Amino acid sequence: MNGNFSSVQEDPNVLAERMSRIEPSGIRRIFELMTTMDDPINLSIGQPHFDPPEALIEAACRAIRAGKNRYTVTQGLPALNQRLLFDVARRFGRRPDSCLITAGVSGGLVLSFLALLDPGDEILLPDPGFMMYRNLAAVVGAVPRFYSTYPRTPGGRFQIDALEIEAKITDRTRVLFLNSPSNPTGAVLSLDEIKVACEIANRRGLVVISDEIYDSFVYDSEFHSPVSHAEQCVQLGGFSKTYGVPGWRMGYATGPQKILDAMKTLQQFSFVCAPAPFQHALLEAAFDVDMGPHIVDYQRRRDLITAQLHPRYALRPPEGSFYAFPQLPKGQKGADFLQHAIDKNLLIVPGNAFSARDTHFRLSFAADDATLARGITALNQLAIELP
C-alpha cells in the first residue's frame, strides 16, 4: 500500500457490469437544474403538493414517542397486512393470498423484479412509462419489450393494444407490467382493457405486475385493478401519493403466496422491513382519513390546465394521476423545448425521459394555484413564440 487511493477511483473496472446498463434519472438532472434557478415555476414534480393529514402526523409522532422505533417483522405489522388485504378484497372482490409491507412502491418494484426475472427473461413494459421500470429490468439483466400506449388516432386516448401485447410475447416473456393511472400519461385502464390484458397474461402464463400507486387519483371513472382478473397478479400499492408522505417510504405488495414469500425472503436480506413508526401511524390513522377533498381539488386543477392549455397544445384531459402529457409544439424536440421552458423559468419533463419517442412532455399539476397559473401563462407564451 503506498497510500495513493486515486488509482483505485480511476480503475475503469471498479463498477459492476450492470452499472453500464443504467444511467442517472433525467428527472434528477432537472431537480439539479432547479437549484440554479431563481423562484422556478416547477411543474416537474412527482409528488403531491399537499401536507399529510394532521391525524397521520400526530400518529407518527405518537408512534416514535411510544418507542415503536425497532424493526418490525419483515412482512410488516400483521394487523396492517390484514387491513390491506381486507381493503383489497372489499374493493376488487378477490382476497390475494398474501401481503408484504414494502419500502415504498419502489421497494416492491425492486423485490418483484428480483423475485420474478432471471437474466435474459423478458418483461413487457408500457411505453411511455415510469423510468424505474426499464432501469430495474436492466439491473436484473432482464430484457424490456415495450408495448405502445400512444394514441392510435390524433386526439385519441392513451390506451393499450391487445394485439401488440400478444405479438410481443416470446418464450422468454415472464411478466406483463401494467400501470394505471399512468405516470406519465395520466391514462386510467378501462375495465375492458384490464380484462383483455389479463386474459392474454393468463393464457400465456405470465405474471401481471400492477403498479397502482396513483389509484386514489382517478377523476372520471372507477378504478379497476387486475387483482380480480389476473391468475397471478403482484399488486403494488402505495401511500406516498395518496397521503402526501413520499418521504415515509411506505408501500405494500399483495399477490400469490409463492411470489410474496420470495419477495419477503429478499426483503429479509435487503430492506429488512418498512419504517416501523410509519407502519404504526398508517395502521392507526390512514384508514379513517378522508382524502376526498384533495382528490376533488386535483380534479379541479386537471380541468383548469386542460381548459387553459387547449387549443394551443394537443392535450386530452388526463383520466387520473396528477400528470398531463401534451404533445410538444410542432417541430420541437424535447431537449430544446425544455431549454425554452427554462428560459421562461419553467420546469417540465421532456417525454423522452419516459420513452424512445420524443413527441410529448410531462406536466405535473401537483402545484399550488399561483404556480399553476404562472406555468400555464409561460406555456401559452411559448406556444405563441416558438416558430
Residues in contact with ligand PMP by the rule CB under 6 A: 46, 104-106, 130, 179, 183, 211, 213, 238, 240, 246, 251
Nearer of residues 104 and 186 to ligand PMP, judged by Cβ = 104
**Alpha-carbon separation of residue 322 from 49, 99, 318 (angstroms):** 10, 27, 8
How far apart CA 187 and CA 149 sit, in angstroms, is 9
Cell numbers given for 69: 422505533
Nearer of residues 104 and 329 to ligand PMP, judged by Cβ = 104
Tell me which amino acid residue 240 is. S
Instruction: Tell me whether strands 122-127 and 173-179 are parallel, antiparallel or unpaired.
Output: parallel
**Who's near 306: CB < 8 A, 6+ residues apart?**
315, 316, 317, 318, 324
Nearer of residues 233 and 382 to ligand PMP, judged by Cβ = 233
* Minimum distance, C-beta of residue 144 to ligand PMP, in the bound complex (Å): 15
Nearer of residues 179 and 355 to ligand PMP, judged by Cβ = 179
* Minimum distance, C-beta of residue 48 to ligand PMP, in the bound complex (Å): 11
* Cross-strand pairs, 252: 101, 237
Cell numbers given for 312: 394551443
Tell me which amino acid residue 227 is. V
Nearer of residues 274 and 382 to ligand PMP, judged by Cβ = 274
* Minimum distance, C-beta of residue 340 to ligand PMP, in the bound complex (Å): 25
* Minimum distance, C-beta of residue 303 to ligand PMP, in the bound complex (Å): 22
Q: Are 140 and 163 in contact (CB under 8 A)?
A: no
* Minimum distance, C-beta of residue 387 to ligand PMP, in the bound complex (Å): 33
Tell me which amino acid residue 214 is. Y
* Minimum distance, C-beta of residue 105 to ligand PMP, in the bound complex (Å): 3
Q: Are 135 and 108 in contact (CB under 8 A)?
A: no
Nearer of residues 170 and 270 to ligand PMP, judged by Cβ = 270
Residue showing the smallest CB distance to ligand PMP in the complex:
104
